[in-house]
A and B are shown apart, each in its own frame.
Chain A
């Protein structure tokens, strides 16, 4: 039986979304899947990658009117008969958490965290979460004024991380730079801005899937080998680290996380301490790495939602390498025309 899975985050650009990796994972699974791309811009590359995304539609931004968002999704559903949606962007999640039951009434299934667990992993709550899952958290000050920012800089020194309350972070090297990014982030995301001590060490990440009852549906850990100027992973290697796995287990038990997630960690080698940097509430852009190592989390998510038996093991080899690369594809202006005129490919 063929299933229709709609996937967002198909912006496979230099700051890549996870959507094309999710779609590729589903296409390589034993499921018979028709993939629908949910895009916000006619230039999202996934729209044109017709070997992984079968058909795409443009959606209104999730930050706008919720009613318009639902209406558009249900219009697409009327044509495509969507079985499952895999939301892959942070900004969509609050909307999907709100409309999950309405989507269910129309037969559309989605795996999203509870509002409580979503809130508990927000940036301003990480200092409470980290010790509960056996991790440290870098010293951080929530600042709303430049004078407080100066105080943080005096205490933590430079370089210093300046983070928005929801998204974006910059490493700054002077008070002038800190002040500039403080104003930029405040204008974009509001207050408080977080000033955080920089932890020097190696970056580690874990991708996982929770069933919402504290159970682990699979996970995989990596060490970042090469990152881009935007801090995005370009090359990574799979690792097997019991301390990271233990943090994952505790996180799932504590939060009862439902859906995909990513733990961003930093290992400070001198003290051999693991720091929690962030918990992303969805699959990361490198989710296909797990699939390549035999842990197909998007497939497991779809099977779980369809009440099918799915693997839950996390048995994989350390030493597998993911190498991202650039590529070009040639399409026709007609595809762009259809998207900009009719909102679909």
Chain B
């Protein structure tokens, strides 16, 4: 997964994400922010599920769903 474009993003603590290259923007929640920031830092998707489970005390299934959803959102904005 190419995450180069994630480094351009302006990420607000409120969950507002702005891409200064394309002008596209979208909103996400705290979990979404957590996932984006970890992807940005280069954490592999395979390890992200356990990180999310540890941080938010959710089931592995829920964590996986959240990650897949965020990856889909990023894909729909051509960010990965």
A: which residues have CB within 8 A of B?
A: 202, 204, 222-223, 225, 237-242, 267, 269, 272, 318-319
Q: Is the CB of B20 within 8 A of A223?
A: no
* Contact A240-B22, Cβ < 8 Å, known A269-B78, A319-B10: no
Main secondary structure of the interface of B (DSSP, over half): loop
Most buried by B among A202, A204, A225, A319: A319
**Contact present for A241 and B78 (CB under 8 Å):** no
* A237 B78 Cβ-Cβ under 8 A: no
Cβ < 8 Å to A, chain B residues 1-43: 10, 18, 20-24
**B78:A319 contact, CB within 8 angstroms:** no
Contact yes or no, A239 B10, CB < 8 A: no
Number of B interface residues, CB 8 Å? 8
Please tell me which one of the listed residues B10, B21, B23 contacts residue A225 in the complex, with CB atoms under 8 A apart: B23
B78 contacts A318, C-beta separation under 8 Å: no
In the assembled complex, how far is the CB of residue A320 from the closest CB belonging to chain B, in whole angstroms?
10
Q: Is the CB of A240 within 8 A of B21?
A: yes
Residue ID in chain A nearest B20 by CB atoms: A318
Whether the pair A241, B22 counts as a contact (CB closer than 8 A) is yes
Q: Is the CB of B22 within 8 A of A267?
A: yes
Contact B78 A272 (CB under 8 A): yes
Known: A204-B23, A239-B20, A272-B78. 14 other contacts (CB 8 A): A202-B22, A202-B23, A223-B22, A223-B23, A223-B24, A225-B23, A239-B22, A240-B20, A240-B21, A241-B22, A242-B21, A318-B18, A318-B21, A319-B10
In the assembled complex, the CB of A71 is this many whole angstroms from the nearest CB of chain B, namely 47
Q: Which residue of A lies closest to B76 (CB)?
A: A269
By a CB distance below 8 angstroms, the chain A residues around B24 are 202, 223
8 pairs across A/B with beta carbons < 8 Å?
A: A202-B23, A225-B23, A237-B23, A238-B23, A239-B20, A240-B20, A241-B22, A318-B21
Write the nearest CB–CB distance from A142 to chain B, whole angstroms.
32
B20 touches A319 (CB 8 A): yes
A240 to B21, CA, bound (A): 5
Measured between beta carbons, the chain B residues less than 8 angstroms from A202 are 22-24
CA distance A223 to B18 in the complex (A): 12
Residue-wise interface mask of B (43-55) relative to A, using a CB-CB cutoff of 8 A (1 in contact, 0 not): 0000000000000
